[in-house]
Structure 1
Amino acid sequence: MASSTKLSFTLFFAFSMFLQGTLGEVICETLPTNLCSFAIASSGKRCVLENYRNQEGKLEYTCKTSEVVVERIAGYIESDQCVNACGVDRSFVGISSDAFLAPQFTASLCSPACYQNCPNIVDLYFNLAAGEGVYLPAVCEKQKSNPRRAMLALLSSGGGAAPGPVATDSADFVADAPAPSFSDFVADAPAPAPAFF
């Protein structure tokens, strides 16, 4: 009888965590670490996975609320489908543009399965790219025709990076509009956010 009570309690706890996420009440600090990365708290701030050393010196992970605010999305946990389509990993620690250095990541991010269907992940990397002075839609356009040239543009854009963009009206970006020329990869001004939301 004690084991059935324990099982019932475990199922109740698991169901309540699932129900909390589906109802839109997302608190980063209460998320399991395997759902933390690419989640957005109900407050509109991104959740980030962080690591620390416990008292025994072992590396452990925890989910924290970052200061990065996402316009138009709150209380959202990214789907496994988008995580897979975009080539990201829920075990990413922190938020970084380092992923752009892997050509296969840029190819996954720019793929139609990700770029057209996963606005949360695209928005995150759009802003990270802009922080490096790179316009993500142009990189994705270049990725279609010449992946090596797109990677070269990313690598050469470091240094004089423009500040990250501030979310603007979604009408400022049209997905079917012609991409800027190769020389427009380095941003002189913040780029508009993708119109996914």
Structure 2
Amino acid sequence: MASSMKFLLILFFTCSPLLQGTLAEVVCENLPENLCSFAVASSGKRCVLENYKNEEGNLEYTCKLSEVMVERFAGYIETDQCIAACGVDRRFVGISSDAFLTPEFTSSLCSPACYRNCPNVVDLYFNLAAGEGVFLPALCENQKRSSHRVTLELLSSGGGALATAGGSIAPTPASAPGPAGF
């Protein structure tokens, strides 16, 4: 009897990180700054970290609800494993497509550890890339061939459709599906 109870406790604590965000309602304004970025409120809207100067003039941070809806991840706080695998930082204030300009970031985002296992982060950057006219799966495919060339072409094109010797990173078609596997 005691051994089965011990097994259940071990099982619970082993699985609890997988349940993160599902046991309680996620309210962006209630999240500490170290959990805000890459979290999705129970309402389905993304949380964003914002900074402001307090009365003494010191920089402080607060978590706010954005207007961006992502219903399939409602009530979700990204895991530390995905934060590390995808090369992102929970202290990001606002999220920008500028991250695609660094080969290290694109390499981390496109790595199997991130791209296959972290759908929340990939979904966010899939949509950011689409806003720049870039189809993330094609960007990742080209990144495997030559990350520096892809970065240079992103810089020179302003983020629009990219052509490389090995193919092209086409603008996202209006009917394009979301990130592969989601």
Q: Aligning the two structures, in what range does the TM-score lie when normalised by the shorter sequence?
A: 0.7 to 0.9
Give the Å deviation of 1:153. 3.1
Cα deviation, 1:46-71, whole Å, max 9, x if unaligned, reads 00000000000100000000001113
Aligned 8 A contact 2:36 2:48 in 1: yes
Give 1:142's aligned amino acid.
N
Give 2:140's aligned amino acid.
C
Distance 1:141 1:34, change over 3 A: same
User: TM-score scaled to structure 1, two decimals?
Assistant: 0.75
SS across alignment from 1:23:
coil
Give the Å deviation of 1:24. 4.3
- Please point out which of 171, 174, 182 is paired with 1:187: 171
**CA distance in 2: counterparts of 1:113 and 1:145, whole angstroms:** 18
**CA distance in 2: counterparts of 1:160 and 1:28, whole angstroms:** 33
Cα deviation, 1:89-137, whole Å, max 9, x if unaligned, reads 0000012111111110000000000000000000000000010011110
Give 1:105's aligned amino acid.
F
> In structure 1, what is the equivalent of residue 28 of structure 2?
28
SS across alignment from 1:72:
helix
**CA distance in 2: counterparts of 1:195 and 1:145, whole angstroms:** 19
Aligned 8 A contact 1:133 1:158 in 2: no
> In structure 1, what is the equivalent of residue 45 of structure 2?
45
Aligned 8 A contact 2:160 2:171 in 1: no
> In structure 2, what is the equivalent of residue 16 of structure 1?
none
Aligned 8 A contact 1:134 1:157 in 2: no
**CA distance in 1: counterparts of 2:29 and 2:67, whole angstroms:** 14
**CA distance in 1: counterparts of 2:137 and 2:65, whole angstroms:** 28
Distance 1:60 1:151, change over 3 A: same
**CA distance in 1: counterparts of 2:171 and 2:20, whole angstroms:** 40
> In structure 1, what is the equivalent of residue 99 of structure 2?
99
> In structure 1, what is the equivalent of residue 85 of structure 2?
85
Give 2:39's aligned amino acid.
A
**CA distance in 1: counterparts of 2:170 and 2:158, whole angstroms:** 9
Give the Å deviation of 1:160. 5.6
SS across alignment from 2:100:
helix
Query: Identity of counterpart residues, as a percentage?
Result: 75
> In structure 2, what is the equivalent of residue 172 of structure 1?
none
Distance 1:193 1:155, change over 3 A: same
**CA distance in 2: counterparts of 1:159 and 1:37, whole angstroms:** 24
**CA distance in 2: counterparts of 1:114 and 1:127, whole angstroms:** 16
> In structure 1, what is the equivalent of residue 109 of structure 2?
109
Number of aligned pairs? 159
Alignment of 1:79-158 (within 5 A): 79-158=79-158
More strand by share: 2
Unaligned stretches of 5+ residues in structure 2: 1-18
